[in-house]
Structure 1
Amino acid sequence: MPLRDEAYEPLEWEDRVIDQQTGDVLVPGTPVNEVNLNRMESGILTSHLDVGLAALAALQLAAATQQEMEKLKNQRILQGEATITANQSNGYFRDFEPFIEISPPGLPQINTPNYDVILTPTVSDDLGRVGDLVVYDKTQNGFKVKMTGSAMVVVFIWTLINPRV
């Protein structure tokens, strides 16, 4: 019986050939005995184990591929809501334009800074005074949004779209 560390070498089986006229054995043939049969069983078992390991490796690869696809799908479009609250001013001037830093949940964006962000204001103390909402400083783990208008509070929905993921 072959050892587990040895590679399996197939045995070339031969028929026993006898001369019909003389009765002499021309080819002794491969003996059907315990050694040869156990060797054959060991080869069959080894091939089943190899097929099982290959199937297990294929399943693991498929699971890893599926997980990677889910990761990429979850990076393609993200959405959330944020609020910018302005600082108090003297009624005419502000020291700076109010902004907020947004860190989308999940994994870092792999296509930085080439992703798009769409902003949709939903609530404000005065929608006419929101001005523009501007996205800037896009990084792998987030971006900033500033408000150029004079509203004190604006709530908006942000949608991050990363089409090249």
Structure 2
Amino acid sequence: MKPYEKIGWVDHVVDVATEEVIQEGTPVSQTNMNHMDDGIFENREAVILHEGLIAANQQEIKVLKDATLNNMVNNVFLKNFDSVEAVLIISGVFDPVARKIYV
């Protein structure tokens, strides 16, 4: 994702007495509004992606922490599946609420 470049909005300032334009304001245009709209959208998409990555990392940390606290450090493995339909569980049980397979 490319970095967002600020527009740097400035007010349109006119001298009330002389009606002289002291400062040209940034135009409120389709280009400028779409620039902001695209930036907001791209940042929201990045937040959604990072929320998922953070949640996955939190799950892995919990599994590793629990294994360490229970002295099961030699039996720890992590595997994420899109669904369990493609997984044949021969021994163990799948908990759909916790989204975990216990073996």
Q: Same fold (TM over 0.5)?
A: yes
Distance 1:32 1:10 in 2: 14
3-state SS of paired residue (1:75): coil
Distance 1:51 1:65 in 2: 21
- The answer for the alignment partner of 1:69 in structure 2 is 65
Deviations 1:60-83 (Å, cap 9, x if unpaired)?
11011011123224435xxxxxxx
Maintained 8 Å contact 1:18/1:26: yes
Trace 1:5-84 onto structure 2 (pairs within 5 A). 5-75=1-71
The structure with the greater share of residues assigned to helix is: 2
TM-score after normalising by structure 2: 0.62
Trace 1:63-142 onto structure 2 (pairs within 5 A). 63-75=59-71, 107=75
Maintained 8 Å contact 1:15/1:27: yes
Maintained 8 Å contact 1:75/1:107: no
Deviations 1:15-53 (Å, cap 9, x if unpaired)?
100111111211110100100000011111122122222
Equivalent residue letter for 1:61: N
3-state SS of paired residue (1:26): strand
The structure with the greater share of residues assigned to strand is: 1
Equivalent residue letter for 2:75: L
5+ residue gaps in structure 1?
Answer: 77-105, 109-165
Distance 1:67 1:10 in 2: 42
3-state SS of paired residue (1:71): helix
Larger Rg: 1
* Fraction of identical pairs, as percent: 27
Q: CA deviation at 1:107?
A: 2.1
Maintained 8 Å contact 1:17/1:26: yes
Size of the alignment, in residue pairs? 75
The alignment's C-alpha RMSD in Å is 2.1
